[in-house]
């Protein structure tokens, strides 16, 4: 814990942590030492972790990297973090992220962007760590924690993991409780770990996952032996390669990476099959209707009365308006506008209802592939390696959204998805592959992931 606290101090330029909690960390570590001395060590005893700022931590600032939650300290602990502390883990601090988890570059944070610890060969230009869990990914990559919590609504665990050469898993929807996690799009949000290795990710997920009476969408399916799955043979597993993920204009490097992944799995005894997921092309536009719609509803609660920031006004309506104008950043306002538009009486059927229908079709594509005997699907994790700070943010919001083209289908279908580092691009930046599994069969992903990492 002391070593990590020192690294955090030395690497503040990365802006990975919003809040450091050294006192808490040292007292939790001391309690761990005592339990170890008594022979009562738990599963994660003394393991120092960083916590994405989206998770409520009792008595510790929880601001979702937004000004509107300014200095908010919850009086409760999220179920996911409570599970980790019950297993003996140590909290190092709260990690930076895109504001309310909206973004793919960690540039929408009120607390400023996170810098990726990686650089292109021969260049010192700062790169983004991906988003929205950019702080989690950068902190793990730079050794500022042994592992981190993260969340994934449309790729926010897997894309930053791919951009930083780390491992990230978005479990099946319902695997982890969402209780105490600031809501973005409730039907898509899932917590998961970012870690250095597939094995570490397996160990962390085991602790984070639980059925919880406080989240009725959490599911009572036994949590498997994830660590035991790592290293198990993949012989005979059937891996689907979806032809719709071969996008027009896909870079030769990404294509080569994908072929390399296929070759490794084949060599390890898996069987490769071509599959079709015909509704893939609708996933991104449908996601960018469903997610903002749910966000606009979830974010209605930030009114200057209950949490964080309050900017006074002549009457209560003016106070609401002033608080929300000052408290939300541009991307969050854009999502609220899109969301209220697609949910408005005149457009509900044309946009929201259609996006929901597309969602069903996307899920059905996967159901059919799994019913035909496919155990997992292999795809690239991202269309490119990490890009430069400000490079994409100034381009256009839509270009930024295109980053999520390989990841959002998984959230729309509620499936587990694992991003695993698979190689480097020409500039020596990490690239990742994605494995998508059957619902609640995260073990299969850990088995396959270890072959690739
Ligand atoms: N980049 C996506 C978005 O901005 C995904 C975010 C997420 O998974 N939290 O909506």
This complex has an ipTM of 0.97
Ligand 1 centroid from CA 103, angstroms: 5
3-state secondary structure at position 24 = helix
Q: How far does the centroid of ligand 1 lie from the alpha carbon of residue 118, in Å?
A: 22
Reply yes or no on whether the pLDDT at 85 is more than 90: yes
CB 104 less than 6 A from any atom of ligand 1: yes
Question: Does the residue 368 lie in any domain?
Answer: no
pLDDT at 14 exceeding the cut of 80: yes
With a 6 A CB cut-off, is 136 part of the ligand 1 pocket? no
Evaluate whether residue 269 is within a structural domain.
no
In this prediction, residues 11-15 reach a mean pLDDT of 98
Q: Which pLDDT score is estimated for 250?
A: 86
**Residue 90 belongs to some domain of the structure:** yes
- Chain segment 381-436, per-residue pLDDT in tens: 999 999 999 888 777 888 888 889 999 999 999 999 999 999 999 999 999 999 99
User: Is residue 39, in this structure, part of any structural domain at all?
Assistant: yes
404 pocket-lining for ligand 1 (C-beta < 6 Å): yes
Q: What is the pLDDT of residues 272-319, one digit of tens each?
A: 999 999 999 999 999 999 999 999 999 999 999 999 999 999 999 999
Query: Is the shortest distance between the CB of 156 and ligand 1 below 6 Å?
Result: yes
- Cβ(134)–Cβ(105) under 8 Å? yes
- Please indicate, yes or no, if residue 428 is contained in any of the structural domains: no
pLDDT 10s digits, 47-57: 999 999 999 99
pLDDT above 90 coverage of the chain, percent: 96
* Residue 411 falls inside a structural domain: no
CB of residue 157 inside a 6 A radius of ligand 1? no
Sheet holding 48-52, edge to edge: 17-20, 90-95, 48-52, 147-152, 190-195, 167-170, 417-424, 430-437, 376-380, 238-242, 271-275
| Domain count of the fold of the chain | 1
What pLDDT score was predicted for residue 399? 83
- Kindly state the average pLDDT of the residues 323-348: 97
Tell me how far the alpha carbon of residue 388 lies from the centroid of ligand 1, in angstroms: 18
* Tokens standing for residue 435: 């494995």
Q: Which atom of ligand 1 is nearest to the CA of 403?
A: 1
Helices 354-371 & 283-298 angle (0-180, nearest 10)? 120
Residue 196 lies in a domain: yes
Q: Which domain holds residue 55?
A: 2-229
CATH of the domain at 93: 3.90.1300.10
Percent of the chain's residues with pLDDT above 70? 100
Beta strand 271-275 with 190-195: parallel, antiparallel or unpaired? Answer: unpaired
Question: What does the pLDDT read at residue 392?
Answer: 83
Look at residue 104 and tell me if it is in a domain.
yes
140-169 pLDDT tens trace: 999 999 999 999 999 999 999 999 999 999
Backbone phi, psi, residue 417, to 5°: -140, 135
Residues annotated as catalytic (active site), given as ranges = 52, 132, 156
The 10 Å Cβ neighbour count of residue 80 is: 28
């Amino acid at each position: 814990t002391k070593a990590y606290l020192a690294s955090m101090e030395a690497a503040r330029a990365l802006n990975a942590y919003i809040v450091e909690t050294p006192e808490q960390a040292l007292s939790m570590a001391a309690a761990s030492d005592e339990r170890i001395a008594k022979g009562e060590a738990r599963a994660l005893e003394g393991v120092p972790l960083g916590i994405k700022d989206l998770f409520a931590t009792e008595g510790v600032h929880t601001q979702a990297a937004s000004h509107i939650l300014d200095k908010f300290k919850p009086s409760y602990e999220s179920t996911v973090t409570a599970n980790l502390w019950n297993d003996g883990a140590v909290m190092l601090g709260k990690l930076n992220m895109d504001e309310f988890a909206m973004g793919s570059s960690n540039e929408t944070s009120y607390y400023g962007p996170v810098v990726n610890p990686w650089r292109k060969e021969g260049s010192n230009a700062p790169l983004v760590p991906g988003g929205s869990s950019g702080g989690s990914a950068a902190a793990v990559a730079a050794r500022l924690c042994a592992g981190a919590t993260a969340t994934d609504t449309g790729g926010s665990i897997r894309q930053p993991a791919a951009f930083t050469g780390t491992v990230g898993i978005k479990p099946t929807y319902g695997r982890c409780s969402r209780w105490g996690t600031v809501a973005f799009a409730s039907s898509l949000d899932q917590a998961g770990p970012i870690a250095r290795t597939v094995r570490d990710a397996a160990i962390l997920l085991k602790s984070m996952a639980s059925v919880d009476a406080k989240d009725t969408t959490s599911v009572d399916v036994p949590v498997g032996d994830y660590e035991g799955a790592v290293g198990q043979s993949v012989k005979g597993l059937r891996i689907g390669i979806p032809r719709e993920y071969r996008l027009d204009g896909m870079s030769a490097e990404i294509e080569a990476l994908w072929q390399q992944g296929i070759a490794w799995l084949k060599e390890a005894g898996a069987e490769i099959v071509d599959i079709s997921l015909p509704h893939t092309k609708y996933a991104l536009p449908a996601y960018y209707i469903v997610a903002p719609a749910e966000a606009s509803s979830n974010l209605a609660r930030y009114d200057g009365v209950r949490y964080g920031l309050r900017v006074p006004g002549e009457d209560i309506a003016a106070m609401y308006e002033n608080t929300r104008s000052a408290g939300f950043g541009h991307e969050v306002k854009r999502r609220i506008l899109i969301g209220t538009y697609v949910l408005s009486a005149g457009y509900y059927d044309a946009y929201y209802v259609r996006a929901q229908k597309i969602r069903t079709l996307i899920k059905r594509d996967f159901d059919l592939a799994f019913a035909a005997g496919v155990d997992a699907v292999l795809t690239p994790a991202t269309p490119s390696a990490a890009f430069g700070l400000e490079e994409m943010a100034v381009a256009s919001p839509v270009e930024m959204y295109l980053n999520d083209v390989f990841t959002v289908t998984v959230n729309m279908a509620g499936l587990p998805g694992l991003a695993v580092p698979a190689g480097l691009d020409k500039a020596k930046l990490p690239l990742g592959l994605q494995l998508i599994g059957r619902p609640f069969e995260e073990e299969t992903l850990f088995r396959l992931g270890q072959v690739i990492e």
